[in-house]
Amino acid sequence: MIGPDGQQLGVLSTSEALAKARDEGLDLVEVAPNERPPVCRIMDYGKYKYEKKKKKAQHGSHQPKTKEIRLRPKTGQHDIDFKVKKAIGFLQHKDKVLVSVMFRGREMAHIEEGRRVMDQVLEQLLEHGKIESPPSQQGRRMFCTVAPK
């Protein structure tokens, strides 16, 4: 048996151990049930569970993800503003944002329109993040990655 301050109290019967725990106003917790004799400890079990949960929450920090916002060269100004607002939320939550402009059909003849949309979005996002990879084009997609500051 182990006392509340970590000192060993020796081998006690179950009833004696429970009596000591009640006198202290704490709980009797079995910490090593497979040992002979089983090892018990006097502790505040509720506080122990709380500390364990708090430590787990601290270790389980946020894993950054890559979120994507998709645009087209013809996307309207309000839609761009709304998507930028969502992207800012992602960056504030420590996620990366992949900004992609998709081209369809005859839009491939006017890549400068897509570049204009991309530059407009990046200009608004630069106060909340930094460009991780500059805008590049692969086939019918132009994309750029923005990382949180």
Give me the residue spans of the domains in the chain. 14-59, 66-148
* Distance in angstroms (rounded) separating the CA atoms of residues 136 and 73: 15
Q: What is the pLDDT along the chain (149 residues), one digit of tens a residue?
A: 898 888 898 899 889 999 999 998 999 999 898 988 899 999 999 999 999 898 888 776 778 899 999 999 999 999 999 999 999 999 999 999 999 999 999 999 999 999 999 999 999 999 999 999 999 999 999 999 999 98
Say which CATH topology domain 14-59 has: Ubiquitin-like (UB roll) (3.10.20)
Give the CATH number of domain 66-148: 3.30.110.10
